[in-house]
Structure 1
Amino acid sequence: MKRVLAVGVVVALACGWGTALGAEDPPKAAPKREKPKYEYREEHDRDGIGKFYMGREIAHVMGYGAAGWLERKERIKEEDPEKLIKSLEIKEGMVVADVGAGSGYHTFMIAPLVGEKGKVIASDIQQEMLDLVTAKAKKQKVTNIETVKGTATDPKLPAGKVDLILMVDVYHEFEHPFEMAEKLVEALKPGGRLVFVEFRLEDDKVAIKLVHKMSERQVLKEMTPFPEMTHTKTVGTLPWQHVVIFTKKEPKK
C-alpha cells in the first residue's frame, strides 16, 4: 500500500500537480514581440535625427545646457503642471518614476505626495541633469528621491516595482522608443500606469517645434506592440499638452 502511494505522488508531480504539493511555478518567459523596423531618411526635419519610427521622426534630445528652460516661469501658464500632477491621482507610499526627469521639475512636485513611505525615481541619460536633481534634493532636504542614470535603450528601473511612470515632453526624443517602452512596461507592477505627456500635434496653436509634438493617435499606435497595456484615459484639459495614460493588465489566473 505504501508503494502504491509513493508511485501516485511521483505521477502527480509528473502531471504538473507539483504546485498543489508546494512546488513553485516556473518563471514566466518575457513575451515575444514583433519589433517594428526603424527607418532612416536623408531628407528630414532639421530638428530631428533622421530616424523614423512608425512614420514619426525622432527629435534631438534637449541637452543639459537648456536646463534653465525647464524651470522657466512661463511653464506654469503654458503647461499648468499642478493640474497635470493632480490628474495622476498619486497616493502616499507609491513608487513613481519620472523618466527623462531633466532638472527634476516634476520630480519635486511628486516627492511630497508619495511621502516618506514612497519614492520618486528620477531617471535621465544625462548625468549633468541628475546632478542638478541631487543638489536640489540636498539643499531642500528631500530624502525620498533616487536618481538613476539610464541609457538610450534602458531607463534602469527595477522590474515589476513601479506604480506609475511619468514622461513629460520626453518620449518623442527616445532614440530607441521600442526598446525603451519594453523596459518601461517591464518595470510596472500589474495595475501600474504609463503616462505620456506630449505637446499636441493636433493643435497648430501650440508653439512648439513640429518633431517635439505628438498626436494622441501616434502615441496609441506606438503602444500597439504591448498588448498587456490598455489605454485607459486621455486628459485633454492642459493648455498645450495631452496626457495619454495606459494601465498594465493584471495577470490572468
Structure 2
Amino acid sequence: MHRIPVLFFALLFVCCRGASQQQPTTSLPTDSTTVYRMGSASRDGIGKFYQGREIAQVMGHLGASWLERPEREQEERTDLLLKALSLKPTDVVADIGAGTGFFTFLMAPKLTQGKVLAVDIQPEMIEYLNAGKAKRKVTNVQPVLGTESDPKLSASSIDMAILIDAYHEFSYPREMMAHIASALKPGGRIVLVEYRAEDPNVPIKELHKLSVKQASTEMKAIGLKLLKNDDRLPQQHIMFFGK
C-alpha cells in the first residue's frame, strides 16, 4: 500500500506524455453540439465534454511498462476481477483498450472454446499483443486495430466487452459505445472497470475516475442499463451493463 503514491505519480506522468502519442485516425465523426461540448482543457483533460464530464487525456504506448508492473495484480486484485466476470469456456470477449494484453492473457486460458478480441487504437500496442501471443503460444487471442470512434467489431459477435480503466479516455465515447453495443450477442454484457470517483481516498486524479451515477447516465444514452455494480476490488468499480 505504501507504493501507491509512487505509482500514482508515475501514472500521471505517463498519461500526460501519452496524450501526444494517440494515433490519428481517418473518417472521424463530426462532433455534434447536442452530444459533445468543447471548452477550456483542464490539466488532465482534453477540453471536450460529454454528459457533463470532461474526457481525460489518454495513456499512450509509453505507459507499457506501467501496465506490466509486477505489483499490478496485488494492487488492483485482477484475480478477483477475473472471478467476477464468471467467464464461460465458449465466450468471445472483446478487451477494449487491451494495451499490452495484461488482462487479455489472463482471460485467454479460461476461454478454451472461445477467444479474446484484443482491441487497441495504437499500432505499438498491437505489436505488444502479437509479441505476447507468440511468447505464450496462445491461439485464441486476436489483436484488432480499432480507431478512436470504432473498435472494428462485427455485429452480434461478442458475449462480453470489458473496458479496464479505458472508457474515461475515449475521445468519442458515444460512437465507440454504440459500436460496442451493436457487437453484443443477445444477452451480452459490457463491463466497465473504473476507479471509484465516489471515494476521495482512491489516489488517482479525478478525470481518471468514474462514478456509477455518471457511467449509468452515459450508458443510458446508448440504450444500456446497469445490471450490477460489483465493488469487490480495492479501488475500482466493476459495472455490468446490458441492453
Question: The TM-score by the shorter chain falls in which range?
Answer: 0.7 to 0.9
**1:187 corresponding residue in structure 2:** 183
**Mapped partners of 1:222, 1:36: distance in 2:** 14
Q: What one-letter code is carried by the residue in structure 1 that aligns with 2:225?
A: T
**Mapped partners of 2:222, 2:168: distance in 1:** 18
**1:81 corresponding residue in structure 2:** 78
**1:12 corresponding residue in structure 2:** none
Moved more, 98-107 or 66-75: 66-75
Change (3 A) 1:147 1:52: same
> Is the contact between residue 219 and residue 225 of structure 2 (CA under 8 Å) also seen in structure 1?
no
**Mapped partners of 2:203, 2:109: distance in 1:** 32
- How many residues get paired? 212
- Deviation per CA, 1:140-167, whole angstroms, max 9, x where unpaired? 1001000100001000111101000000
* Secondary structure class of the residue paired with 1:223: helix
Query: Are 2:107 and 1:110 aligned?
Result: yes
> Is the contact between residue 94 and residue 119 of structure 1 (CA under 8 Å) also seen in structure 2?
yes
Shift of 1:226: 2.6
Equivalent position to 1:94, from 87, 91, 95 = 91
Change (3 A) 1:119 1:36: farther
**Mapped partners of 2:232, 2:179: distance in 1:** 29
* Secondary structure class of the residue paired with 1:92: coil
**1:153 corresponding residue in structure 2:** 149
Shift of 1:35: 9.0
> Is the contact between residue 174 and residue 222 of structure 2 (CA under 8 Å) also seen in structure 1?
no
TM-score (norm: length of structure 2): 0.85
> Is the contact between residue 191 and residue 239 of structure 2 (CA under 8 Å) also seen in structure 1?
yes
Query: Are 2:130 and 1:129 aligned?
Result: no
Alignment of 1:63-82 (within 5 A): 63-82=60-79
Shift of 1:93: 1.2
> Is the contact between residue 149 and residue 155 of structure 1 (CA under 8 Å) also seen in structure 2?
yes
**2:38 corresponding residue in structure 1:** 40
> Is the contact between residue 35 and residue 178 of structure 1 (CA under 8 Å) also seen in structure 2?
no
> Is the contact between residue 95 and residue 120 of structure 1 (CA under 8 Å) also seen in structure 2?
yes
- Deviation per CA, 1:97-134, whole angstroms, max 9, x where unpaired? 0000000011001100011x211000000010111011
Uncovered stretches (5+) of structure 2, i.e. residues with no partner: 1-31
**Mapped partners of 2:184, 2:34: distance in 1:** 22
* Secondary structure class of the residue paired with 1:146: strand
Percent of aligned pairs with the same residue?
49
* Secondary structure class of the residue paired with 1:128: helix
**1:242 corresponding residue in structure 2:** 237
**Mapped partners of 2:33, 2:70: distance in 1:** 40
**Mapped partners of 1:195, 1:74: distance in 2:** 23
**Mapped partners of 2:162, 2:117: distance in 1:** 10
Shift of 1:210: 1.3
**Mapped partners of 2:34, 2:140: distance in 1:** 37
Query: Are 2:159 and 1:163 aligned?
Result: yes
* Secondary structure class of the residue paired with 1:246: strand
Kindly name which structure, 1 or 2, has the bigger radius of gyration based on alpha carbons.
1
**Mapped partners of 1:223, 1:243: distance in 2:** 14
**1:54 corresponding residue in structure 2:** 51
**Mapped partners of 1:119, 1:184: distance in 2:** 17
The Cα RMSD (Å) is 1.3
